[in-house]
Amino acid sequence: MNFENSPSFANKGPQPGARLFLCIIASLALLIGDSQFGLMEKTRDAISVVLYPLQRAANMPLNLTMQVSDFFTAQAALQRENDQLRERNLTQSSGLMRMASLEQELHQLRTLNNLTSHPSTPGTVAEVLYTSRDPFSHRLIIDKGSNNGLANGQAVIDEHGLVGQVTRVQPLSAEVTLIIDRHHIVPVMIQRTGQRALLYGFGDGVEVRYLPINTDIRQDDLLVTSGIDSLYLQGTPVARVAQIDRLSGAAFARVRCQTVAGVQSSRFVVVMPNRKMSVLPPPVTAPGKPAIAPDKN
């Protein structure tokens, strides 16, 4: 095929060398004009506006992937932080409860220490180990026994009042019968009037029985130990009157009372020594005169 006689687009116009030269001159002119006078700024702005949706569409998969990854990362971080905060809250809550318990024990021990340090009321501080396993009795087991000088019949008190009485002693522990036990009786008196009575336990509390119906006793009166026996010191708080029932035709009033001591809540108690009969002092004689011997008849 003969190409010499056929017209060609490449054979029209300037020669290739001239075209290259013109392109170089136009490029330099555009570069100089754009750098010095900003000739292509509006063109670039127009092109960027046209190409912006394409750029957004091209970046959308990457942005969506990053957002999904950030979402799951944030969820995992929040869950981990939640777990840490929950654990910290539980730890601090248990610590606060322990601190409250320690403060209560410290206050109780300080009060009991003041009782035991008093010269007229020496005693032995003991800790309550557990309650008796017999559901029909109300007794406590304490961590002091005969090795610490405890004996049957000793009164047991806390910082508020009378708790009970030691009824069984072992070398390293002792059993305390509470005043609410149905077999326990405490001689008491009304602090306001001095009227004596007997306080009986009935399992869930205490009450005064066989009190004449016309006795001067009022609600909220404080009952203290009368001291007429050889077990309890006089004046130890025992209970406070809660309810008085005076039935017509009855010979005795029924007086329900509320214990003032932490009978079932105290952790530390003081075991008081048994009372001893006081020894009469020797007779006082005048100077130079012999003492008069007591009559043996």
Q: What is the pTM of this model?
A: 0.56
Report strand pairing: 185-190 vs 222-225. antiparallel
Interatomic CA distance for residues 105 and 102, integer angstroms: 5
Do 195 and 163 form a contact (C-beta atoms < 8 A)?
no
Residue ranges per domain, the chain?
16-117, 126-271
Residue tagged 């008796």 (tokens): 132
Terminal-to-terminal C-alpha distance of the chain? 175
Provide the 3-class DSSP secondary structure of residue 77.
helix
Provide the 3-class DSSP secondary structure of residue 206.
strand
40 C-beta neighbours (distance < 10 Å), count: 14
Interatomic CA distance for residues 131 and 216, integer angstroms: 37
CATH topology of domain 126-271: Thrombin, subunit H (2.40.10)
Provide the 3-class DSSP secondary structure of residue 278.
coil
Strand extents, DSSP E, the chain: 124-131, 139-142, 155-157, 162-169, 174-178, 185-190, 196-201, 206-212, 222-225, 237-245, 252-259, 268-271
pLDDT by residue, tens only, the chain of 297 residues: 454 555 554 456 677 778 888 888 888 877 777 777 766 777 777 777 787 788 778 878 877 888 888 888 888 888 888 888 877 776 776 666 667 666 766 776 666 666 655 545 568 889 899 888 777 789 999 999 999 889 999 999 988 899 999 999 999 999 999 999 998 999 999 999 999 999 999 988 899 999 998 899 999 999 999 888 778 888 889 999 999 998 888 889 989 999 999 888 888 898 988 765 333 344 444 444 444 444 443
Burial pattern 157-177, b for ≥16 Cβ within 10 A else e, equals bbbebbbbbbbebeeebbbbb
HEC string of 130-172 equals EECCCCCCCEEEECCCHHHCCCCCCEEECCCCEEEEEEEECCC
The secondary element (H helix, E strand) that includes residue 61 is: helix 41-117
Q: Which residues, 6+ apart, have CB-to-CB distance to 251 below 8 Å?
A: 212, 213
